[in-house]
Amino acid sequence: MNSMEKDTRLIGREALAKLFAQWLGEGRRILAPKQSNDKVDFAEVETPGEVSLDPVQTGQSPKGALFPRVEELFSFPSRDGRVELRERDLAALKPTVVFGLRPCDAAALAALAAIFNWDSADALFSARLAALTTVGVACNRCDEYCFCTSLGGGPGATTGSDILLTDMGGGEYLAEVISEKGRQAIQGAGTLFQPALGKDKESRLARVEKAFDLDKVKPALEALFDDEAFWVEQSLRCLGCGACAYVCPTCACFDIQDENGRRLRCWDSCGFGLFTLHTSGHNPRPLQSQRWRQRLMHKFSYMPERQSVLGCVGCGRCSRACPVDMNILEHLRAVAEAKP
Amino acid sequence: MTTADVFKPFLMRIDKVTEETPDVRTLRLAFQDEREGRGFTFRTGQFGEYSVFGEGECTFCIASPPTRQGYIECTFRKAGRVTGALADLEAGETIGFRGPYGNVFPIDEWEKKSLLFIAGGIALPPMRSVIWNVLDLRDRYRDITIVYGARTVADLVYKSELAEWEKRPDVRLVATVDPGGQTPDWKGEIGFVPAVLDKLAPASRDTVAVVCGPPVMIKFTFPVLARLGFAPEKIFTTLENRMKCGVGKCGRCNVGKHFVCKDGPVFTFAQLQEMPQEY
């Protein structure tokens, strides 16, 4: 592919530090993978030196930048017994650069946007998305949990990144400027970049083998829906702990709770028995097997059908986080190959 | 800059409290901001999220008909944290309401037809909205029959309205209580709703049936209606899965690929037959 047409350039480590300084100067905050004790997760950074791109993946996905684990929807201070509603000031949400997210995480933004805005726009999510610029970093390495290529993604995929960097070795990054937001993020920083003539990222990318045929998954799931034995077998180990949903870059199910004069939106999980429990005690999904089925159906059947987007990007976080070693890749392969 | 958010409720003043049974009450709510009230419209079958600030939100249908303007009503059983808090409030106090959400009973399509309403227990409230809606437009419909059952006489809600329907010559009310739930002066039927319906054997010709009740009542009522000749697409019900957002985002009310909050809560039996049993 001709790199000139794609607006591809080179940037070195020192120039990247200057770009970080420029972003901070513009009032943006930068979230990037950062080591804290034995964990690497997205946190605020000021220099590229603080960024840790060593692990294949961060433990938590960057979804919190758009959909925080707990966020205030509005507050309701009480004055002389009269309730007053105080809305969030969306203009106060800080413009944010998420740096160093992997192509799978960048692809997940489309799934999140579909969930929050498919029918009516979610004000907080939309405001955060509008103020977000993503600088992805292509994957030089992968592990046995990665399966982005089975879902149409790839270690060098540009979808969802405003700029995608590829580590070319020797302290140099190939920078592909993908979107208008990406162009704005490097406005005035032209001298920081070098021409990228003759550079090609492909040789630097991890090789993620295709693990199953995605086209088979949706029809197979639908055919298997009433196969109780299949779902019991699939979910026998599941503790219902919800870790998979918390680390997932696309899981966006939420709860709404009041606390200290504020109405809060909090992450939730379809894996919890309480999730669907009626006040009467009746539960439409009382069994863990039904809740595991819901997880797969939502991501691979309902979302593609209702919102035209897959609810999974193949990042493998759920498999890495699962305390009982459920590997979603193996489960999907079993679905794709099932003979109902 | 602030922006109107889908989660921001209207502030509603409780204008009237009616104790229906020892643990069921009806609240009449008026918009604290009259301008918001004038801009508010809904159609029968829709629901909302009601909140006690500091306790949280819960989901009920709007139990009053859109033909009665200037207020909305909700009826609920005191059962959990939010309904417990709602049960402690008095007239004059403020709660939150957001809505209306969901689809509607297609009462325009029911014109010139007979209507058969079948409700059990605390499921009369969602049906009360549509019953009063069609009674307020009475000349557009033919026979109107209401079959309503509760466990005991004490559990019957809307007692004064039941008495009103009983007296009306243009409504046939059949009230029943479960065996053992009657009082010495009970003049209605004694028996479970499906059995009473079976005995009543209403005609199915040019008739739409609306069924609301606990899952077990629904389960045994559908076969009776089928035997009486009601086509599945002529039987309507309203589902009440647990909800948080009410607007298709929070992910818990789905029945298969259907959002109860967006595609429902009103479904026909024909639709339910195509849907998984997740309600």
Q: What is the pLDDT of residues A96-126, one digit of tens each?
A: 999 999 999 999 999 999 999 999 999 999 9
How many residues are recorded in chain B?
279
CA–CA separation, B150 vs A197, rounded Å?
A: 80
- Whether residue B108 is contained in a domain is answered as no
What is the token pair recorded at A119?
Answer: 């029918």
Of B6, B57, B248, which is closest to A123 when you measure between CB atoms? B6
Closest-CA residue of B relative to A124 is B5
Domain end (from B207, B223, B238): B238
Q: What radius of gyration do chain A's Cα atoms show?
A: 21
Q: Quick check: ipTM above 0.85?
A: yes
Return the residue matching tokens 């709404």: A256
* Residue B33, number of CB atoms within 10 A of its CB: 12
- Whether residue B147 is contained in a domain is answered as yes
B153 shares a domain with B40 = no
Interface contact B249-A115, CB threshold 8 A: yes
A210 burial class (0-12, 13-18, 19+ CB within 10 angstroms)? exposed
Question: Which among A135, A105, A123, A109 has a CA at the least distance from the CA of A31?
Answer: A135
- Whether residue B273 is contained in a domain is answered as no
Of B51, B54, B252, which is closest to A275 when you measure between CB atoms? B252
CATH number at residue B66: 2.40.30.10
Interface contact B5-A226, CB threshold 8 A: no
Question: Which among B223, B159, B150, B235 has a CA at the least distance from the CA of B192?
Answer: B150
Instruction: Supply the pTM of this predicted model.
Output: 0.94
Give the angle subtended at the CA of A255 by the CAs of A44 and A99, to the nearest 5°: 20
B125 shares a domain with B29 = no
Closest-CA residue of B relative to A293 is B256
B139 shares a domain with B86 = no
Q: What is the pLDDT of residue B77?
A: 94
Interface contact A87-B83, CB threshold 8 A: no
Number of domains in chain B: 2
Q: Where are the beta strands (DSSP E) in chain B?
A: 10-21, 24-31, 47-52, 56-61, 72-77, 94-101, 114-120, 144-150, 172-177, 189-190, 207-212, 235-238, 254-255, 258-259, 266-268
Characterize the bridge pairing of strands B114-120 and B144-150.
parallel
B37 shares a domain with B136 = no
What is the token pair recorded at A286?
Answer: 């009382």
Q: Measure in Å the smallest separation between the Cα of B230 and chain A Cα atoms.
A: 27
B125 shares a domain with B225 = yes
Interface contact B244-A298, CB threshold 8 A: no
Domain end (from B101, B130, B160): B101
B231 shares a domain with B129 = yes
B147 shares a domain with B41 = no
State pLDDT tens for residues B190-204: 999 999 999 999 999
- Whether residue B278 is contained in a domain is answered as no
B123 shares a domain with B92 = no
* Residue B220, number of CB atoms within 10 A of its CB: 16
| Contact list, B257 vs chain A (CB under 8 Å) | 297, 301-302, 305-306
- Whether residue B204 is contained in a domain is answered as yes
Return the residue matching tokens 């005991």: B152
Residue B91 pLDDT class (50, 70, 90 cuts): very high
Q: Tell me, what amino acid is at A195? A: P
B227 shares a domain with B142 = yes
Domain end (from B72, B101, B130): B101
B76 shares a domain with B39 = yes
| Contact list, B215 vs chain A (CB under 8 Å) | 282
State pLDDT tens for residues B159-183: 999 999 999 999 999 999 999 999 9
Closest-CA residue of B relative to A89 is B2
Q: B interface mutation test: which of A78, A274, A282, A308 has the most B CBs within 10 A?
A: A282
Q: What is the pLDDT of residue A262?
A: 96
Q: What is the pLDDT of residue B1?
A: 40
- Whether residue B54 is contained in a domain is answered as yes
| Contact list, A82 vs chain B (CB under 8 Å) | 94
CA atoms within 13 A on the CB side of A104: 27
- Whether residue B277 is contained in a domain is answered as no
- Whether residue B276 is contained in a domain is answered as no
Interface contact A280-B79, CB threshold 8 A: yes
Of B54, B55, B252, which is closest to A253 when you measure between CB atoms? B252
B121 shares a domain with B78 = no
Residue A196 pLDDT class (50, 70, 90 cuts): confident
| Contact list, A284 vs chain B (CB under 8 Å) | 241-242, 255, 277-279
Q: What is the pLDDT of residue B215?
A: 81
| Contact list, B54 vs chain A (CB under 8 Å) | 76, 258, 261
Which residues span the domain enclosing B210?
Answer: 114-238
B123 shares a domain with B188 = yes
Q: Once rounded to an integer, what is the mean pLDDT over residues B122-133?
A: 95
Contact indicator for B265, B254 with CB cutoff of 8 Å: no
Interface contact A78-B276, CB threshold 8 A: no
| Contact list, A277 vs chain B (CB under 8 Å) | 242
CATH number at residue B125: 3.40.50.80
Dihedral Cα A74, A79, A83, A87, nearest 10 deg: -20
Residue A2 has pLDDT above 50, yes or no: no
Tell which wins on pLDDT, A255 or A77: A255
Contact indicator for A110, A129 with CB cutoff of 8 Å: no
State pLDDT tens for residues B9-44: 999 999 999 999 999 999 999 999 999 999 999 999
State pLDDT tens for residues A292-309: 999 999 999 999 999 999
